[in-house]
Amino acid sequence: MASEAPSETEVVGYLKTLSNWGRWGSDDELGTLNLITPAKRVAAARLARDGVPVTCARPIVTDISPDTTFQVLRFMVDSGEGRDTAPPERLLQRRGASEFIGMVFHGFTVTHVDTPAHFFWEGQIYNGRSCNLIASREGAQVEAVELLHDGVVSRGVLLDVARTRGVRWLERGEGVMPADLEAAERASGVRVEPGDILLARTGNFARRGAEGPVNPLRAGSPGPHAALAPWLRERGVAMWGSDTHNDITPTPYPSMGHPFHIVALVGLGLWLIDNMNLEDLGEACAERSRWEFLLTIAPLRFRGATGSPVNPIALF
């Protein structure tokens, strides 16, 4: 596998050689999502033949675990406790329960979308804008998740890399390489085409369930290798998701830190989905021997955000 890995200089070079800056105009903020056409969506909807929806998200819980960087919050504004026996004069105001929820969705535990504004390189984000536009007070003034107000709807393709390799999960520190994607294509009889949302399963979330969570910064994590970038651009992938935080840990390119994020988000304008749960989906595909489906991703319309927690829904 090591033979396939490009040098750090080559990966930094991808930011020029694979650049999509200007490809859809100097004002573009959507990047590779431009590759999804209405016709693509119509074709994708025809894949809904069984009427079975499947989640691609992990549960969101408030526990602290080794992979927590920021704890998720849920506090009741009003609970139901004692409302069965509350004195009648107070009951009118006490017939409802509600809660505050809060989170830093970026990190290692929540399934979420990354917009191109989430990462910078040499002070710039996708399409050459200044990273100063991602401001303390206003948040992301460009390339924010609100651009996806109508959702992302297209054909989803699952390439089950762990299954194709014949392992339960990729080892920590291992990368998904172009050869993995091609092997999975061959094994599943599907070919990734322009406008697809490509999901790659490493088994990483299954391992978390089986062995318990670990801190990826200490224990490592599998992830997509930056070597995928030329392949993803050539195939016209519109959005990439995996069951990892979408970079190998420890990083193979120390001066970049998060090479896959940087090349994908900054260079290609390729939006990402981190920390997916691809276990339910993997089973649903395997049962049907069908690795394509209608996929709907509906980010919150949160103004100024560099992403959103999501629950992507595959429809078979």
Per-residue x/- marks for its own copies, 112-151, CB under 8 A? -----xxxxxxxxx----xxxxxxxx-xx-----x--xxx
Please report where in the chains the tokens 């859809």 appear, as a residue. 24
Tokens found for residue 102: 């809060």
CB-wise, 3 or 122, nearer to its own copies? 122
Binding piece for its own copies, criterion CB under 8 A, among 17-25, 69-77, 217-225, 232-240: 69-77
C-beta separation of 238 from 32 below 8 A: yes
The Cβ of residue 238 has, within 10 Å, a number of other Cβ atoms equal to 26
Supply the minimum distance, in Å, between the C-beta of residue 281 and its own copies: 11
Task: Write the binding mask 243 to 282 for its own copies: x where contact by CB under 8 A, - elsewhere.
Answer: ------------x-xx--xx-----------------x--
Alpha helices in 131-171 (DSSP H): 161-165
What is d(CA 105, CA 306) in angstroms, rounded to the nearest whole number?
10
Distance CA 219, CA 241 (A): 22
To its own copies, the closest distance from the beta carbon of 226 in angstroms equals: 14
Tokens 């910064």: give the residue: 217
Contact 275, 104 (CB under 8 A): no
Instruction: For its own copies, give the closer residue by CB, 2 or 92.
Output: 92
Kindly tell me which residue out of 13, 24, 55, 183 binds its own copies, with binding defined by CB under 8 A.
Answer: 55
- The one among 1, 22, 79, 128 contacting its own copies by CB under 8 A: 79
**Min separation Cβ 308 and its own copies, Å:** 8
